[in-house]
């Protein structure tokens, strides 16, 4: 499915469908391709689905952190969406969604987390060892999924290009550090919006105990598991993910 993006002076974004708004937030090395089946599914079922391009590599160095990205998303919902939205975040995107929900609860109708950082995650660390070794990068990309075949050659090429671009590589490491530093254990109890947690049982990046802890700490949360599934559930098990989320949204 081909999507057309819109551009204005402040935002580049995709919007598909008509109805209740959903805003999708990508992971640190994610992109639009992670959400194609979700966008197609919900845009045909009474939802207006937005995918804003997050300023991961465009922020000034001093502002390259998750709080700045959450402020960007708040402006996007305020100025483009125009009403409270269901916010769906994967990995770093979930972490941004948590920060946004706490700082601007007026903009978030529901929160959906999958493989979200915020408590604990395994990352590349403080640098990218052997970044010029494509086979190494391919192996790291495959570890994100239960089925390594999901890490296509195109996806590996995208990650390889990012880590070997000096500016992008530095900012990627900075955002990974920001995620590690911004532990939200003591804040999650303040989240009041209905929260749907959909998690891969074989997530190697944010292990299942992270989902269990988030479900325990967020008052109005509900946890769903997907078996034979890794860190990007909406990508690896799209049909099951979409059905779970659709049913949950019908109730909220």
For residues 124 and 211, the answer to whether their CB atoms sit within 8 Å is no
Asked whether residue 217 is domain-assigned, the answer is: yes
Number of independent structural domains in the chain: 1
Asked whether residue 70 is domain-assigned, the answer is: yes
Asked whether residue 92 is domain-assigned, the answer is: yes
Residue-number span of the structural domain to which 230 is assigned:
5-122+183-251
Strand 221-226, strand 195-200: pairing: parallel
| pTM of the full structure | 0.92
Asked whether residue 211 is domain-assigned, the answer is: yes
Asked whether residue 163 is domain-assigned, the answer is: no
For residues 34 and 51, the answer to whether their CB atoms sit within 8 Å is no
CATH number of the domain where residue 94 is located: 3.40.50.1820
Q: How confident is the model at residue 127 (pLDDT cuts 50, 70, 90)?
A: very low
Q: Is the confidence at residue 4, as pLDDT, over 80?
A: no
Asked whether residue 130 is domain-assigned, the answer is: no
| Joined tokens for residue 146 | 């239960």
Asked whether residue 139 is domain-assigned, the answer is: no
Asked whether residue 62 is domain-assigned, the answer is: yes
Between residues 158 and 212, the one the model is more confident about: 212
Q: What residues have CB less than 8 Å from 247, skipping those under 6 apart?
A: none
Instruction: Note the pLDDT tens digit of each residue in 139-174.
Output: 888 889 999 899 899 888 988 888 888 788 788 888
Q: Is the confidence at residue 125, as pLDDT, over 60?
A: no
């Amino acid at each position: 499915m081909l999507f057309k993006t819109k551009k204005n002076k402040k935002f580049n974004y995709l919007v598909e469908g008509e109805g209740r708004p959903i805003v999708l937030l990508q992971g640190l090395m994610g992109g639009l391709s992670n959400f194609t089946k979700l966008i197609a599914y919900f845009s045909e079922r009474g939802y207006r689905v937005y995918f804003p391009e997050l300023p991961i590599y465009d922020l000034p160095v001093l502002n390259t952190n998750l709080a700045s990205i959450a402020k960007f998303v708040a402006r996007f919902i305020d100025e483009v969406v125009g009403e409270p939205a269901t916010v769906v975040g994967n990995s770093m995107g979930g972490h941004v969604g948590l920060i946004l929900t706490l700082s601007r609860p007026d903009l978030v109708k529901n929160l959906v987390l999958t493989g979200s950082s915020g408590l604990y995650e395994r990352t590349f660390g403080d640098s990218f060892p052997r970044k010029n070794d494509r086979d190494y990068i391919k192996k790291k990309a495959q570890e994100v999924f239960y089925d390594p075949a999901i890490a296509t050659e195109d996806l590996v090429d995208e990650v390889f290009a990012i880590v070997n671009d000096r500016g992008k590589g530095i900012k990627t490491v900075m955002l990974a550090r920001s995620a590690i530093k911004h532990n939200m254990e003591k804040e999650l109890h303040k989240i009041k919006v209905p929260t749907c947690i959909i998690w891969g049982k074989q997530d190697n990046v944010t292990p299942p105990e992270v989902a269990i802890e988030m479900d325990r700490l967020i008052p109005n949360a509900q946890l769903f598991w997907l078996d034979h599934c890794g860190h990007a559930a909406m990508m690896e098990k799209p049909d099951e993910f979409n059905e779970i989320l659709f049913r949950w949204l019908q109730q909220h």
